[in-house]
Structures are given as structure tokens and as C-alpha cells.
Structure 1
Amino acid sequence: LWSKNYADELPIHLAAREGQVETIIYILENSTIHVDTATVDLWTPFHYAVNNGYLATIEFLVSKGASINSIDRFGRTALHWAVRYDFKDIVEYLLKHNIKFNAKDKEGRTALDIAKSTMNLDLISVLSDYEKTKIKGK
């Protein structure tokens, strides 16, 4: 369970990348591996699940204490990645679970900046509405 591959990934990372909740359960119950174990690039199982669009895996990891605000080596949160890959359901989930909305990556971009740069009108709307209601109190 502690064997890493060439990319510094443990089996828990690979299971999250593939949305294999049962495998993640097995690993967490049969080892001392923490739910937020990170790779050299600071990717946690949560990052892998978000990046590949596995909402059920995301929900499970959060239920086990995964940090939704962890950042990778580029300073990106899960929200940055969910927006980049157009996972609206995951964006909405993250916003409901109080992810840091205005977090900036190392290039100074927020998730809303990424949505605007790709002209993703649907996510621009979701993020702008969230900003108006939660951030500015309107």
C-alpha cells in the first residue's frame, strides 16, 4: 500500500484517479495512509478525484476528512481544476462546502479568472452568482 510509482503516486492516488471508492476504503482501513497524503507535486487523492470528475469519490474523501482547500505545487485548489475541466457539478459541490473561492494560483488567477479565460459562460455565471451572494453579501 506504500509502494510508489514513477510519478510518486501511491495506490490511494491511483484509486482516487479512477474513482475506486472501495479500494480507497480498503487502503484507509488497512494502513496508516492519511486521506490527505500528497505526491511530490502536492496532489492529494482529493485532487485526483476532482481532476477526473468523480463526484462520489470526492464526497467520500470529504466524509473522511479530506481537505478541500489543499493546494498543489502550482498553488491551484480543486476549484481551479474543476473549472478548468468544466465539471459544473463538482464546482457547485465545492462551493457548497466552503472552498476558498478567491484563492489565487501562482500565476495570480482565481477559478473565476480561469472560467473567463476559457469563455465558459455557464461556470462564469455559477461563480459570479456565488461571488455576489457569498462574498459580497448581496
Structure 2
Amino acid sequence: GRHNGTTRCSLTCLSVRTFAADTKMSEFLWSLKNGDLDQVKDCVEQKGLDVNASIDVRPPLHHAADYGQVDVLEYLIEKGADVNSKDKYGISALLAAIWEGHTACVKLMVEKGASKQGTTPEGQSYLEAAEKQEIRDLLH
């Protein structure tokens, strides 16, 4: 049993590091969903979080689009977030905003080069998936 102490320490150190990373990610996720732009900036600029790294199987852009956080979206795109990235389910941030009816988010992403030609996982076009007329107009 000479090495038990070392092994135990390694495991503890590893789990503390993982916990710290998880905490950083959950802070980031919270700020994305709640539109806390200062916190998002802090996570990206001070803590070095990647604007394209998935959190809970979705890129940061998707979380912001889902919750209608247009200022956060704009910032993430400025910082290099891929406007056409898809999550684990094949859903783009644009589609998330279309489904949630977030017109300002749809407008911003289209202006920033998001593809309007996508389809839902069920095969509907983005235009067909849009319920709001003002969003349909942006997708033509």
C-alpha cells in the first residue's frame, strides 16, 4: 500500500479540476440564457471559454438564440462563433430562434450570414417552420 496516498491525491486533484471547469461552464450557460452580457464577456475574455465549444450538447450561440438574447448573440458572433453551427440534433441557432419566435435574433443571424436554406430534423424548411409572419419575411 505505498502508492495509495499518491493515487488518492491524483483522483482528488482531477475531480477538483473537473469541478472547476464544470462550474465555469455552468456560469457561462447561466449568463447565456439570462442575457448577462458582462458575465458572458468575462467568461470569454477572462476565463478563456471557447465561443464554439458545446455546453450540454449545444454551442453557446444556440443557448442565447433559444432564450432570445440578441446582445449576447451579437457579441458571440463578433468573437467568432459559427452562425451556421449545428447542435447534436442537427439544429442551427437560427432554427432555435425561429422556433422560439425571436424575431430580433433571426434578423441578426441572417444579417451575419446564417444560412436561410436549412431544414428542421423533420425535413421542414426554415420558412415552413416559422410561425410568425415577420420571421417568414426575413427568411425570403
Same fold (TM over 0.5): yes
Unaligned runs of 5+ in 2: 1-19
Contact preservation (8 Å) 1:101, 1:111: yes
Provide the residue aligned with 1:18 in structure 2.
34
* Matched length: 121
Provide the residue aligned with 2:9 in structure 1.
none
TM-score, with length taken from structure 1 = 0.77
Contact preservation (8 Å) 1:74, 1:105: no
Provide the residue aligned with 2:133 in structure 1.
121
Q: Secondary structure at the match of 2:82?
A: coil
For the residues of structure 2 that align with 1:126 and 1:30, how far apart are their CA atoms?
A: 35
Question: What is the Cα-based RMSD across aligned positions, in Å?
Answer: 2.0
Provide the residue aligned with 1:3 in structure 2.
22
Which of 62, 70, 73 aligns to 2:85? It is: 70
Query: Which structure 1 residue ranges, 4+ long, deviate > 3 Å from structure 2?
Result: none
Per-residue CA deviation, residues 4-63 of structure 1 (Å, 9 max, x unaligned), is 59xxx532122111111111121222334211110342x121111111111111111111
Provide the residue aligned with 2:120 in structure 1.
105
- How much does 1:126 deviate? 2.6
For the residues of structure 2 that align with 1:110 and 1:99, how far apart are their CA atoms?
A: 14
Per-residue CA deviation, residues 43-98 of structure 1 (Å, 9 max, x unaligned), is 12111111111111111111111111111122111111111111111111111111
Aligned-residue identity in percent: 21
Larger Cα Rg: Structure 1 or Structure 2? 2
Q: Which amino acid aligns with 2:45?
A: E
Contact preservation (8 Å) 2:120, 2:129: no
Q: Which amino acid aligns with 2:64?
A: A
